[in-house]
């Protein structure tokens, strides 16, 4: 069996074995997307580099999966389950949204793979929400059907950004003036960190620091300087990012009545874990007026297992093979 996870920047692939009912990843490889013309090229190279049978496969892709096809959101790749199956000789190929893959992976993790931000009062079989900020912003909901938990995809990261304060309204105006729309993903993502930083520079009439101008990974450097406290603009940027992230997580919690918990995934949350644990996130999360008490009871956890989506795709591959 084959599992894959495709983001805007990388593609991770692994072969899957099952031990004691749990999927296990072997021959894990990671590829830089910009070095390839498309997913077929990545998959072909992977098969050449690793030995094993070509069996059933599941690929989690950052984008809306419709009729077994997906146009990746932040890379110019069009992927078809049928075409992959035919071209690479795979018996079954399943495509799922990347957050659905993450949701399946959630149930394969152990207690040590999470950091609790709010213990709350977890409701048995309650709905669960998943928010993941990285190259983009992904969201999913998970409901219990009476026998098992069932994830379903959304494109909630592309809803309109909703400011929660005067300064965030000014951020909205700044972004709107540049592109004519403002999605939640334009703020709550790695590119969003850069947007907030440059907006904060403008508001404070500050000049770009040398470290920022020279940085190849500007969002990563913003996080570094914010956490160390070395740059006031970076600190303000991360504070605003956390506020906006918390507000969007609370929006999902309310829309899904996620009494089973909210989970933060993606690339960014583990990198800013120390800042998230300091209380600012939860203070903003519950700041929703009439339903603040409901939100305060919702458990909130951070996923620290970086391969969760790939593990989830492996779980799906194992499930379709067992049928």
Between 251 and 8, the higher pLDDT residue: 251
Same fold, 2-104+307-322 and 111-304: no
Look at residue 247 and give its three-state secondary structure.
Answer: helix
Mean pLDDT of the region 115-141:
95
**Total residues belonging to the chain:** 323
The answer on pLDDT for 74 being more than 80 is no
pLDDT value, residue 189: 97
pLDDT value, residue 323: 59
Structural contact between residues 5 and 309, judged by C-beta atoms closer than 8 angstroms: yes
Q: Please state the pTM of the whole predicted model.
A: 0.92
Give tens-digit pLDDT for 97-107.
999 999 999 99
Tell me the pLDDT band of 109, cut-offs 50, 70 and 90: very high
Between 20 and 65, the higher pLDDT residue: 65
Report the mean per-residue pLDDT for the chain. 93
Look at residue 182 and give its three-state secondary structure.
Answer: coil
pLDDT value, residue 112: 95
Q: Which segments of the chain does DSSP mark as H helices, in order? A: 39-49, 81-88, 98-106, 166-179, 190-203, 210-214, 218-228, 232-256, 268-271, 273-276, 280-285, 292-296, 308-322
In this structure, whether the domain defined by 111-304 belongs to CATH 3.20.190.10 is answered with no
pLDDT value, residue 63: 86
Q: Could you give phi then psi for residue 287, rounded to 5 degrees?
A: -80, 70
Between 322 and 109, the higher pLDDT residue: 109
Look at residue 286 and give its three-state secondary structure.
Answer: coil
Q: What does the domain layout of the chain look like in residue ranges?
A: 2-104+307-322, 111-304
What topology does CATH give the domain 2-104+307-322? Nucleotidyltransferase; domain 5 (3.30.420)
pLDDT value, residue 120: 93
Q: Could you give phi then psi for residue 25, rounded to 5 degrees?
A: -95, 130
Alpha carbons 91 and 102: distance in angstroms, whole number: 24
């Amino acid at each position: 069996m084959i599992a894959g996870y495709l983001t805007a920047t990388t593609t991770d692939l692994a072969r899957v074995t099952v031990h004691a009912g749990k999927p296990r990843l072997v021959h894990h490889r990671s590829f830089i997307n910009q070095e390839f013309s498309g997913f077929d090229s990545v998959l072909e190279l992977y098969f050449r580099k690793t030995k094993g049978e070509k069996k059933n496969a599941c690929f989690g892709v950052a984008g809306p999966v419709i009729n077994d096809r997906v146009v990746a959101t932040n890379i110019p790749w069009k992927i078809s389950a049928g075409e992959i199956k035919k071209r690479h000789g795979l018996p079954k190929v399943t495509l799922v949204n990347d957050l659905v893959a993450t949701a399946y992976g959630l149930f394969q993790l152990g207690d040590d793979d999470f950091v609790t931000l709010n213990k709350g009062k977890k409701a048995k079989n309650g709905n669960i929400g998943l928010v993941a900020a990285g190259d983009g912003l992904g969201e999913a909901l998970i409901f219990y059907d009476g026998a098992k938990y069932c994830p379903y995809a959304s494109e909630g990261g592309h809803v309109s950004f909703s400011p929660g304060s005067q300064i965030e309204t000014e951020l909205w105006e700044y972004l709107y003036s540049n592109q004519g729309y403002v999605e939640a993903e334009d703020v709550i993502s790695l590119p969003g960190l850069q947007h907030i930083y440059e907006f904060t520079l403008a508001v404070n009439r500050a000049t770009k620091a040398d470290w920022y101008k020279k940085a190849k990974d500007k969002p990563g450097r913003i996080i570094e300087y914010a956490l160390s406290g070395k740059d006031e603009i970076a600190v303000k940027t991360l504070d605003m990012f956390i506020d906006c992230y918390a507000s969007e997580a609370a929006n999902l919690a309310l829309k899904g009545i996620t009494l089973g918990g909210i989970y933060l995934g993606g690339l960014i949350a583990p990198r800013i874990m120390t800042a998230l644990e300091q209380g600012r996130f939860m203070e903003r999360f519950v700041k929703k007026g009439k339903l603040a008490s409901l939100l305060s009871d919702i458990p909130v956890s951070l996923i620290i297992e970086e391969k969760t989506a790939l593990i989830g795709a492996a779980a799906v591959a194992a499930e379709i093979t067992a049928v």
